[in-house]
A and B are shown apart, each in its own frame.
Chain A
Amino acid sequence: MSSDVPDLHLASVAQLSAQLQSGKVSSVELTRALLARIEQHQRELNAFITVSAESALAEAARADERRRAGAAGPLTGIPIAHKDIFCTRGEKTTCGSHMLAGFVSPYDATVVERLRAAGTVTLGKTNMDEFAMGSSNETSYFGPVRNPWNPTRVPGGSSGGSAAAVAARLVPAATATDTGGSIRQPAALCGVTGIKPTYGRVSRYGMIAFASSLDQGGLITRSAQDAALLLSEMAGFDERDSTSVELPVPDYAASLEQPLKGLKIGVLREFFDGLDEAIEPLIRAALALLHAQGAVVKEVSLPHLPLSVPVYYVVAPAECSSNLARFDGVRYGHRCEAPRDLADLYQRSRAQGFGAEVKRRIMVGTYVLSAGYYDAYYLKAQQVRALISRDFEQAFHEVDVLVGPTTPTVAFELGAKTHDPVTMYLNDIYTIGANLAGLPAISVPCGFVGGLPVGLQIIGPHFCEARLLNVAHRYQRESDWHQRAPRGFV
């Protein structure tokens, strides 16, 4: 590492981009420095499932060459990590599961392809809850990830590896996915920034499916500004994803500085029910900070929002049971030894390949879709989902964005909620609503309780990512919570 560029691991994507451009540091030097950090902290955090040192250095060398040829863009040579749910060609893509422990993807996910085309360097694949089903990263076949702020605490999930890696300053940014809060919740619990874009904004092609009407790819970064830089490259129409939306992608970085004067903020009454009382004053303080910049704050209510968790635990398992039917022990994935017949091959391969939480959700999903129960559960849930969506729509007639906490508590102890699935599910009570209604939402750090980070969530109408990033950035200009690094990782 060049001596005049200290603390490369603490630099933002924007700062690294400037340093690469000025020639103060090369992508190879930067990549080498971050690979060393990942290796140094892997045993302690378990944030990665795969580290691709060799291919990363080759990519970095190509990025440096591209820069010498005068063909570099703002992200050329920036090292990042991908959640192990995104397919990466020629590399292991496990989705945190024994089922895919030996799977080598024959193609790149669109997200990976676009970020590669922009010149980013892939350092590796981050750990996650198995098939993205979990809120603590404890369901990973490859072991739990630990929270860099306190190794006895969970990092959140399912994108726990991405959040921990960004918080521990191992990578400046990582991709992630959010089905019920899997970007925002770990971002909140690890003290980093996480954005879940509007449903359809980011391609799902090559992103291993969990619940297709809820899944959305996004980012975990250390600031809204960095998220804006990466999202501009990552988002956009993809004909290979039939739910991808054909709308132009704005330059998200261009509107970051827009003043907040006159911004109408709705504070969700329902988001203060069940909230840890030490968190509430931090949310109020963040609102005061936005108010001081000219935003108008008013209370709003979404009466059906408390039903988000029950709706989610019908819709998500139903879609999961259908999506995961593809794992049959025939075409790819785990296969049991010496199957007696085809039924035995399916049943034992699946029983051995999937972990407890995945099987639980497949069972629930199969039940709610089965004959005689479909109307009472699935149809009812989709009706209540429509009511929740309508509540949001009405709120956005009155206000521009909704603000509240991301999670009801700070990071909990490893093992604290594994005994009871419902207790674990309730942890996502504030994040699920945005998925059900397909809305974009962002979580930014807004303080600490007992030395553990707290997240502020901002939710907006469909396709208002630019506004969310703008509000988050203006908040981060006036606060420094997002710049705090956990002890031992500075």
Chain B
Amino acid sequence: MTIERSDVENIARLARLALTAEEIPQYVGELARILGMVEHLGHADTAGVTPMAHPLPGQRQRLRTDAVTEADQHELYQRNAPQVRAGLYLVPRVVE
């Protein structure tokens, strides 16, 4: 498996992770090694096999009725937020 520096930069961007210049070559090596191990999957004959989507056969995602079940507790929840004003989460300016 060949992983290039540009691959790592691209993945980091998709994953929203800031990497330092020293970290990039490290990830190139580690990702290549992990994906090299994963390539053993190629040995398995999977022609016509339905991919497994749920660990229990026949189970489906249960849906709940579309109704309000939670009380408004935004003050409690926002106690964990880094920056809040007037009940709103604050982020850097998005629209100039």
A interface residues, Cβ below 8 angstroms from B: 102-104, 106, 198-200, 213-214, 239, 242-245, 304, 307, 309-311, 313-314, 321, 325, 328-335, 339-348, 350-351, 354, 359-360, 362-364, 366-368, 370, 377, 379-387, 389, 420-422, 425, 435-438, 462
Residue B6, interface by CB 8 Å: no
Q: Provide the residues of chain B in CB contact with A387, threshold 8 Å.
A: 44, 46, 49
- In the bound complex, how far is the Cα of B35 from the Cα of A98, in angstroms? 27
Q: Would A362 and B17 count as touching, CB distance under 8 A?
A: yes
- In the bound complex, how far is the Cα of B77 from the Cα of A333, in angstroms? 12
Q: Provide the residues of chain A in CB contact with B59, threshold 8 Å.
A: 200, 243, 245
Where chain B touches its partner, the secondary structure class is loop
Which of B14, B81, B82 has the most C-beta atoms of chain A within 10 angstroms of its own C-beta?
B82
Q: Would A366 and B15 count as touching, CB distance under 8 A?
A: yes
Q: Which residues in window 39-67 of B have CB below 8 A to A?
A: 39-44, 46, 49-57, 59, 61-64
CB distance from B38 to the nearest CB of A (A): 5
Among the listed B42, B55, B80, which residue makes an inter-chain contact with A104, where contact means beta carbons less than 8 Å apart? B80
Q: Which residue of A lies closest to B12 (CB)?
A: A363
Given A425-B37, A438-B56, A351 and B19 contact (CB-CB distance below 8 Å): yes
Q: Would A106 and B50 count as touching, CB distance under 8 A?
A: no
Q: Would B82 and A335 count as touching, CB distance under 8 A?
A: yes
Given A342-B92, A364-B35, A347 and B18 contact (CB-CB distance below 8 Å): yes
**How many B residues touch A, CB cutoff 8 Å?**
53
Q: Provide the residues of chain B in CB contact with A245, threshold 8 Å.
A: 56, 59
Q: Provide the residues of chain B in CB contact with A370, threshold 8 Å.
A: 10-11, 14
- In the bound complex, how far is the Cα of B91 from the Cα of A328, in angstroms? 10
CB distance from B92 to the nearest CB of A (A): 5
CB distance from B95 to the nearest CB of A (A): 10
- In the bound complex, how far is the Cα of B63 from the Cα of A171, in angstroms? 39
Given A362-B15, A438-B56, A332 and B80 contact (CB-CB distance below 8 Å): yes
Q: Would B61 and A243 count as touching, CB distance under 8 A?
A: yes
- In the bound complex, how far is the Cα of B55 from the Cα of A214, in angstroms? 8
Among the listed B16, B55, B73, B92, which residue makes an inter-chain contact with A341, where contact means beta carbons less than 8 Å apart? B92
Q: Provide the residues of chain A in CB contact with B61, threshold 8 Å.
A: 242-243
Given A350-B16, A384-B46, A386-B49, A342 and B91 contact (CB-CB distance below 8 Å): yes
CB distance from B88 to the nearest CB of A (A): 11
- In the bound complex, how far is the Cα of B73 from the Cα of A422, in angstroms? 44
Q: Would A420 and B38 count as touching, CB distance under 8 A?
A: no
Q: Would A420 and B56 count as touching, CB distance under 8 A?
A: no
Among the listed A309, A359, A425, which residue makes an inter-chain contact with B17, where contact means beta carbons less than 8 Å apart? A359
Q: Mark B67-96, 1 if CB is under 8 A from A, else 0.
A: 000000100110111110000010111100
Q: Would A213 and B38 count as touching, CB distance under 8 A?
A: no
Q: Would A348 and B30 count as touching, CB distance under 8 A?
A: no
Given A332-B81, A421-B33, A381 and B41 contact (CB-CB distance below 8 Å): yes
Q: Provide the residues of chain B in CB contact with A379, threshold 8 Å.
A: 51
Q: Provide the residues of chain A in CB contact with B21, threshold 8 Å.
A: none
Complex A-B, nearest 3 residue pairs according to Cβ-Cβ distance, in ascending order: A438-B55, A382-B51, A335-B82
Q: Would A106 and B77 count as touching, CB distance under 8 A?
A: yes
Given contact pairs A106-B80, A243-B59, enumerate 5 new A-B contacts (beta carbons under 8 Å): A309-B37, A366-B11, A367-B31, A380-B42, A438-B56
CB distance from B7 to the nearest CB of A (A): 8
Given A311-B41, A437-B55, A363 and B82 contact (CB-CB distance below 8 Å): no
Q: Would A330 and B15 count as touching, CB distance under 8 A?
A: no
CB distance from B83 to the nearest CB of A (A): 7
- In the bound complex, how far is the Cα of B18 from the Cα of A346, in angstroms? 9
- In the bound complex, how far is the Cα of B90 from the Cα of A342, in angstroms? 11
CB distance from A252 to the nearest CB of B (A): 20
- In the bound complex, how far is the Cα of B81 from the Cα of A104, in angstroms? 11
Q: Would A330 and B44 count as touching, CB distance under 8 A?
A: no
Q: Would A421 and B30 count as touching, CB distance under 8 A?
A: yes
Q: Would B11 and A363 count as touching, CB distance under 8 A?
A: yes
Q: Which residue of B lies closest to A380 (CB)?
A: B41
Given A331-B80, A364-B34, A377-B38, A386 and B17 contact (CB-CB distance below 8 Å): no
A–B complex contacts, Cβ < 8 Å, 19 sampled:
A310-B41, A313-B37, A314-B38, A314-B41, A330-B89, A332-B80, A344-B18, A345-B92, A348-B18, A351-B18, A360-B31, A363-B27, A368-B38, A377-B35, A377-B41, A382-B51, A387-B44, A389-B57, A421-B34
- In the bound complex, how far is the Cα of B56 from the Cα of A243, in angstroms? 10
Q: Would A380 and B46 count as touching, CB distance under 8 A?
A: yes
Among the listed B17, B52, B56, which residue makes an inter-chain contact with A383, where contact means beta carbons less than 8 Å apart? B52
Q: Provide the residues of chain A in CB contact with B93, threshold 8 Å.
A: 341
CB distance from B5 to the nearest CB of A (A): 13
CB distance from B1 to the nearest CB of A (A): 10
Q: Would A304 and B16 count as touching, CB distance under 8 A?
A: no
Which of B8, B43, B49 has the most C-beta atoms of chain A within 10 angstroms of its own C-beta?
B49
CB distance from B9 to the nearest CB of A (A): 11
Q: Would B89 and A386 count as touching, CB distance under 8 A?
A: no
